[in-house]
Chains A and B, each alone.
Chain A
Amino acid sequence: MLLRPNRAEVFVVLGTVGKAVLVLGLATFGLAAIALLAGDVDSAAALAIGASLGVGAGTWTRMHTGTRRRLTWTTGVVAATTSWVACTLMASVPLHLSGHYASYPDAVFEALSGLTTTGLTLVQDIDHMAPAMALYRHVLELSGALATVVVGLTLLTAATATSSSLDPSDVRDERIMPSVRRMWRLVGEVAATTVGVGLVVMSAALLVAGVRGWDVLVHGVSLTISAATTGGFALTSHSVGFYHSALVEIVLIPLMLAGAVSFTLHRAAWRGERWPLTRELEVRVLLASMFAIAVIVMLGLGRSGATGDVVPLFRRGLFTTIAAHTTTGLHNVSPRLLATDWGLLAPAGLVAAMAVGGMTGSTAGGLKALRVGLIGKGLAADVRRVLLPEAAVVVATFTWGRRRKLEHGHVRSSATLLLILLVASLGAATAVLFLDSTVNLTEALFMAISAASNSGQTVGTLTPSDPVALKAGYGLLMLLGRLEWIAVFATIGFLYASLRGRQ
């Protein structure tokens, strides 16, 4: 029997949700002002309407939920999940008013895809979308990315990976609010520097690629944010392929990697801490996995006959591998070609890349390199136990910030998430096959993993004409993946306890 949350706990959750919606509303107002200055009255009006709703609802909620209570682990994860849903509903309003979505559920899907930095899209005629509205999708990616890192470090990673037992109950009662505030500032500084420097370099690359005028700035902002947040939205239907520029693709690689690198590593590098980077389990697993998958994808590309030359192998194979592994979703090949021309081996490699994902405490999704490493270490320790004499004590260690002893809890928690991801993806793929008779099993699995790992890589099967149930299913996977499943389960438990819990 669950305990019914008290009034203060509900208020602290609602207060945090109100703040999130308020801040996103203010950011939306900022973009509306820029749209107005640029003479785009329609976009400005649509953005202002959405922003007014956000600011109004956020302010009203905060006025009526005053409490001195601070967030705990439980209320924190419930507030995070609820905030994502509330911000999605707010952000869907301007998108729907833009007229580029076939229905309101499509606009909700797009907003959720942006805020979860997934990048799957249902937009229609993106090539003729007003720049302000197109950039709004990137504002959503940026907001979602910052929130992901902060929530990841303070609630998810901090709760499930730093404690020796990987048990959230260890930190459940800890007050996290002061650290959240500080974390926002620290993450903001790193993000501003990455995006700022990235924008300058990207603008230069776009100039070389032949982009001129204001488009340099608009496309520069779009590509930089899309890559650094591992989001994957683009301003054109051809994504990165539109620019026909190897230079643009090369500049995007460090930006995508910056998004997939743990904030802990960013912070350590800023502090000038010198430590053997190659000892970090996450770095080792990520680099090894990227190498192995790049081999698979390139061999698959060669074998399928799609291409066997050096430059196309490098540009298509490596870029797509990194885009999938960092869960970014940008593409320089027509998505449909992945399913029709790339054979089976290369897309299978990309599915594995998306499933592994980036590092913990980054904007990347997927299982995360740390967990893959922990499962591998656990397996190796079990094999050693079998091979060594019965009396031998097997102690396995791993480096994550510092050297740690591998415990059963680490492996169990990681393996549980792997199992959830696999079962959910298989279940979702079955549902996709049931709902959309035009896709095959490979395409269904690709799309299910893409949504669950917040990648946004696509084989071109997702269209606005798909049934609402299919879009809702992908949307649910994006939300579950972003909040690493447990947070959403905890929120459902919280809601159940609010209704049926013991007083």
Chain B
Amino acid sequence: MNGPDPRGSLRRRDAPVWQQAAEGIGLVIVLSAAVTAVGGLLALAVSLLF
């Protein structure tokens, strides 16, 4: 990855589109799962304080 290259192509020619879209969605899901899990643990920890 080299920063936002407006001329760069979105597509990889060697992989089907659904696979590329799945990889894109995977990034968001992994990120949200991490945020939600940490948030849950945090809520548990804070609830023990009060």
B27, chain A: closest CB distance, angstroms: 4
The reply to whether A257 and B35 form a contact with Cβ atoms under 8 Å apart is yes
A298 to B47, CA, bound (A): 9
* B41 → A minimal CB distance (Å): 10
User: Of A114-122, A151-159, A430-438, A461-469, which stretch is located at the interface?
Assistant: A151-159
Q: Would B10 and A254 count as touching, CB distance under 8 A?
A: no
Q: Which of A218-226, A260-268, A381-389 contacts B (4 or more CB under 8 A)?
A: A260-268
Contact in complex: A190, B50 (CB < 8 Å): no
A299 within 8 A of B: yes
Which single member of A162, A186, A299, A303 contacts B10 (CB below 8 Å)?
A186
In the complex formed, the residue of B with least CB distance to A280 is: B1
Interface size for B (C-beta < 8 A) is 37
Q: A400–B4 Cα gap in the complex (Å)?
A: 10
B7-A182 in contact (CB<8A)? yes
Residues of B close to A321: CB separation below 8 A: 39
CB-CB nearest in chain B for A153: B4
- Please tell me if A271 contacts chain B, counting CB pairs below 8 Å: yes
* A201, chain B: closest CB distance, angstroms: 10
Q: Mark A173-202, 1 if CB is under 8 A from B, else 0.
A: 000101110110010011001100100000
- How far is it, in angstroms, between the C-alpha of A440 and the C-alpha of B1 when the chains are bound? 47
Known: A182-B6, A275-B1, A314-B43. A253 touches B36 (CB 8 A): yes
A318 to B9, CA, bound (A): 36
B3 CB contact (under 8 Å) in A176, A186, A309, A400: A400
Contact of A270 among B4, B23, B49 (CB under 8 A): B23
The answer to whether B46 and A302 touch across the interface, beta carbons within 8 angstroms, is yes
Query: In the complex, are the beta carbons of B43 and A310 less than 8 A apart?
Result: yes
**Most-contacted residue by chain A among B1, B21, B29 (CB, 10 A):** B1
Measured in the bound complex, the distance between the Cα atoms of B20 and A303 in whole Å is: 46
- Say whether A335 faces chain B, with CB atoms less than 8 Å apart: no
In the complex, are the beta carbons of B3 and A162 less than 8 A apart?
A: yes
Give complex CA distance A269, B15 in Å. 13
A414 to chain B, nearest CB (A): 16
* CB of A241 within 8 Å of the partner chain: no
B16-30 with Cβ < 8 A to chain A: 19-21, 23-29
A297 to chain B, nearest CB (A): 9
**Which residues 266-323 of A have a CB within 8 angstroms of B?**
266-273, 275, 277, 287, 290-291, 294-295, 298-299, 301-303, 308-311, 313-314, 317-318, 321-322
Closest residue on chain B to residue A299 by CB atoms: B46
Determine whether A99 belongs to the interface, using a CB cutoff of 8 Å to chain B.
Answer: no
Q: Which range holds the interface residue count of chain A?
A: 35 or more
Contact (Cβ within 8 A) B50 A194: no
Residues of A within 8 A of B31 (CB): 254, 257, 261
Across the two chains, which residue of chain A brings its CB closest to B10? A186
B41 to A, closest residue via Cβ: A314
Q: Which residues of B contact A313 (CB under 8 A)?
A: 43, 46-47
Indicate if A361 sits at the interface (CB-CB under 8 A).
yes
Q: Is A480 an interface residue (CB 8 A)?
A: no
Q: Is the CB of A194 within 8 A of B40?
A: no
A158/B38 contact (C-beta < 8 A), A269-B27, A272-B12 known: no
Which residues of A are found within 8 Å of B28, using beta-carbon distances?
194, 254, 257-258, 261
Chain A residues whose C-beta falls within 8 Å of the C-beta of B10 in the assembled complex: 186, 189-190, 267, 270-271
B20 contacts A308, C-beta separation under 8 Å? no
- Chain B contacts for A197, CB-based, 8 A: 21, 25
A401 touches B2 (CB 8 A): yes
Closest A-chain residue to B20, C-beta based?
A270
Contact of A272 with B35 in the complex, beta carbons under 8 Å: no
Asked if A402 CB lies within 8 Å of chain B CBs, one says yes
State whether the Cβ of A41 lies closer than 8 Å to any Cβ in chain B. no
Q: Provide the bound-state CA to CA distance between A302 and B44, in Å.
A: 12
Q: How far is the CA of A257 from the CA of B19 in the complex (A)?
A: 21
Given A271-B12, A272-B12: A308 touches B50 (CB 8 Å cut-off): yes
A250 on the interface (CB 8 Å rule)? yes
Expressed in whole angstroms, the Cα–Cα distance for A89 and B26 within the complex equals: 39
A-B residue pairs in contact (CB < 8 Å), sample of 24: A153-B4, A162-B4, A176-B6, A182-B7, A190-B10, A194-B25, A250-B36, A253-B32, A253-B35, A257-B31, A258-B28, A267-B10, A270-B12, A270-B23, A272-B15, A287-B35, A302-B49, A308-B46, A313-B47, A317-B43, A318-B35, A318-B39, A318-B42, A401-B3
Chain A positions near chain B (C-beta within 8 angstroms): 153-154, 157-158, 162, 176, 178-180, 182-183, 186, 189-190, 193-194, 197, 250, 253-254, 257-258, 261, 263-273, 275, 277, 287, 290-291, 294-295, 298-299, 301-303, 308-311, 313-314, 317-318, 321-322, 361, 400-402
Contacts A194-B25, A287-B34, A317-B43 aside, 20 further interface pairs with beta carbons under 8 A come to A153-B6, A157-B4, A193-B25, A253-B36, A254-B28, A254-B32, A261-B31, A269-B24, A269-B27, A270-B10, A270-B11, A271-B20, A295-B46, A298-B43, A302-B47, A308-B46, A311-B43, A317-B39, A318-B42, A401-B4
